[in-house]
Amino acid sequence: MSKFYVTTPIYYVNDRPHIGHAYTTVLADVLARSHRSLSDATFFLTGTDEHGQKVQQAAEKRGVSPLAHCDETVVRFQELWTRLGITNDHFIRTTQANHKRIVAKIMQDLYDRDEIYKADYTGWYCVGCERFFTEKDLVDGKCPDCGRDVNAITESNYFFRMSKYQDWLIDYIQTHPDFILPAFRANETLGFLKKPLGDLCISRPKSRLSWGIELPFDPDYVCYVWFDALINYISGVGYGTDEEKFNSWWPASCHLIGKDILTTHSVYWPTMLKAIGLPMPKTIFAHGWWLTGNSKMSKSLGNVVNPMDMIDRAGVDAFRYFLLAEMSPGNDANFSEDAFISRYNSDLANDLGNLLSRVSKLTIRATGGEIPAPNELNADDAELANAVTQAISAMESSLESYKLDQGINAAMNAIRAGNRYLEKCAPWTLAKNGDTARLHTVLHNAAEALCKVAVLLAPVMPQKMTELLCVLGADKAGISGIADLAGLKSVAGFIMKEASPLFPRIIVETDPGAAAPAPKAEKKAKTEKSAPEKTQAPENVLISIDDFFKTQLKTAKVLSAEKVDGADKLLKLSIEVGPEVRQLVAGVAQFYSPEQITGKTIVIVANLKPAKIRGIESQGMLLAAKNGNDLKLVTIDGDMPSGISIG
């Protein structure tokens, strides 16, 4: 059995948790859940960083003690993690007695061994970052990290002999390619280490800052907040209190961090561990930032995304999915509500939701619910099985590389392959023609693909994938984690239940009467759209084939039609698109009566965001040619089932 110990940074307790904090914690959670599901012994640590000047100042401002302030603010993080389904094994607070004792013990030990010494020091201090900088570190006389003003301070302080480990650290990074990931962050650290490394000031005089852990060898000083905070990674798993526990978890498998705290983790922490005499963590993985409108989120810019709002709007699992699918760790990602809605609707509501509803409806119609055994297999079946196998191996390797977006993407590709498979094999036609042998094979294979992908995505969307596995009847067979996939011989015999929509579409609603979508700030929930105005591409601009294929054109059969009250031009159609029945509102009433249009096989844009027209939801758009006062529907030449892709 392997072991996996993952950590997040401990968050400043003063801050309000935002999407950046949520991202790291969800990423750690998905890694922890995945390793647990692979039966690895797993420990997941997160917590809060509670000492330092900012907390002291905030508490003073509110007229409460720093600890009382922390006790009140820590709840914001704890509540959010509960809401997000975070499965941390321990929540560490740096104000806990055990942590403070271990920090003091380590400092005393380093002091006794002359790893810590006292000296006079003049430095430039940034209150915001709680860090000292040398003159040459400054950028235009300001803090190199946050750009704010710095103050010159001369005082006696204690120093950790970090400089003596510089050569060792360079060599360690160069000989351990997995130590700092992505690799360009290792290069960044090596670049930093080209300059002589100074010793690290690890104390603050109490006259200036009293909210910290007192130095055991000098009661006039407290410990520098970063020196205190980094130690959480070992105090949180029993260092100095429970050696057996500590030895079973340390060294950590992965410290997940944001790119702004790379140096503290890739230079301070390894040299501290070396001085303490402990082995290095296997990997320090630095992810990028979430930006809004291409700038870093900050309170002053007012562009902070509150995770609770997103969860309220779309649910926990959809939010977790979006965070991980949208960011390629290592790079920055931009958050926008449009990107969120578009990914939600296309990946979850459309691709995943449709596959589940089709498989469940068709199986219940064909067998009453029992997933049938497959018969002879052909090339289409092999293609689907191959997409699923690729998804499994991509997910496994993305767990190794921490690039979970790649595993998720492969899983969604398998879902799309499942939808294409159904369109190609057309089980609805097989049923109509009485080809039961092939029908059973197709239903079985589609259900099996769905089951396997649901297991792969369960760490990302635990609640929804559990629901999905219940619909498939897989829960009864004890299928819940990746480790169970190897033992899954067949889904035949599972009893399928009727599926209610796992991810109801989010309807984008804009101001009534607006020709173009209303500006973002005015966009509001649950308003309605007038008949959509179409923007034509300029005549002579060429598009690529990929652009064309972004539009999903499909055949659809008009089941019934009726006039829309008070709208001369509109017909409300009920259309069949494969096994799905949709409602569509079209401006064709002056050219076709309900009777004339009923029964026709038309062509629709199937992946258009739903919109409300005169209060009625339209799930797609039909194609027609309009010439002045004449309009003709685009129809299919000959007999063709509905739901067939056109391209």
Minimum CB separation of residue 583 from ligand MSP in Å reads 40
Q: Is the distance from CB of 50 to CB of 74 less than 8 angstroms?
A: yes
Query: How far from 11 is each of 45, 48, 50, 191, 335, CA to CA, in Å?
Result: 12, 5, 8, 27, 21
Query: Nearest Cα to 406, choosing from 418, 415, 394, 392?
Result: 394
Which CB sits closer to ligand MSP, 296 or 424?
Answer: 296
Reported in sequence order, the residue ranges of 244-360 that DSSP labels E, i.e. its strands, are 254-258, 283-287, 290-292, 295-296, 333-335
Query: How far from 20 is each of 107, 312, 446, CA to CA, in Å?
Result: 32, 18, 37
In whole angstroms, what is the distance from residue 609 CA to residue 621 CA? 10
Which CB sits closer to ligand MSP, 301 or 373?
Answer: 301
Minimum CB separation of residue 209 from ligand MSP in Å reads 16
Minimum CB separation of residue 167 from ligand MSP in Å reads 25
Helix (H) or strand (E) holding 567: strand 567-577
CA dihedral 460→464→470→471, nearest 10 degrees, is: -120
In whole angstroms, what is the distance from residue 297 CA to residue 19 CA? 9
In whole angstroms, what is the distance from residue 86 CA to residue 427 CA? 40
Minimum CB separation of residue 27 from ligand MSP in Å reads 10
In whole angstroms, what is the distance from residue 541 CA to residue 101 CA? 69
Buried b (16+ CB within 10 A) or exposed e, 247-264: eebbebbbbbbbebbbbb
Tokens representing 444?
A: 């079985």
Which CB sits closer to ligand MSP, 403 or 612?
Answer: 403
**Cβ contacts of 498 within 8 Å, gap of 6 or more:** 360, 361, 364, 471
Which CB sits closer to ligand MSP, 20 or 212?
Answer: 20
Minimum CB separation of residue 323 from ligand MSP in Å reads 10
In whole angstroms, what is the distance from residue 473 CA to residue 493 CA? 9
Which CB sits closer to ligand MSP, 333 or 474?
Answer: 333
- In sequence order, what are the beta bridge partners of 156? 120
Which CB sits closer to ligand MSP, 335 or 503?
Answer: 335
Minimum CB separation of residue 297 from ligand MSP in Å reads 4
Which CB sits closer to ligand MSP, 262 or 414?
Answer: 262
Minimum CB separation of residue 535 from ligand MSP in Å reads 33
Minimum CB separation of residue 406 from ligand MSP in Å reads 19
Minimum CB separation of residue 506 from ligand MSP in Å reads 24
Which CB sits closer to ligand MSP, 23 or 503?
Answer: 23
In whole angstroms, what is the distance from residue 151 CA to residue 162 CA? 23
Which CB sits closer to ligand MSP, 28 or 453?
Answer: 28
Binding site for ligand MSP (CB under 6 A): 9-12, 15, 20-21, 23-24, 49, 229-230, 232, 257-258, 260-261, 289-290, 296-297
Minimum CB separation of residue 200 from ligand MSP in Å reads 14
Q: Is the distance from CB of 591 to CB of 622 less than 8 angstroms?
A: no
Which CB sits closer to ligand MSP, 229 or 408?
Answer: 229
Minimum CB separation of residue 331 from ligand MSP in Å reads 11
Query: Nearest Cα to 28, choosing from 76, 87, 83, 97?
Result: 87
Which CB sits closer to ligand MSP, 10 or 454?
Answer: 10
Which CB sits closer to ligand MSP, 76 or 554?
Answer: 76
Helical H segments across 402-536, by residue range: 404-425, 427-433, 436-457, 462-472, 482-485
Which CB sits closer to ligand MSP, 155 or 260?
Answer: 260
Minimum CB separation of residue 95 from ligand MSP in Å reads 13
Cα 5-9-12 angle, rounded to 5 deg: 150
Minimum CB separation of residue 158 from ligand MSP in Å reads 20
In whole angstroms, what is the distance from residue 234 CA to residue 548 CA? 54
Minimal CB distance to ligand MSP: which residue? 258
Strands, sheet with 333-335, edge to edge from the N-terminal-most edge strand = 295-296, 290-292, 333-335
Q: Is the distance from CB of 578 to CB of 359 less than 8 angstroms?
A: no
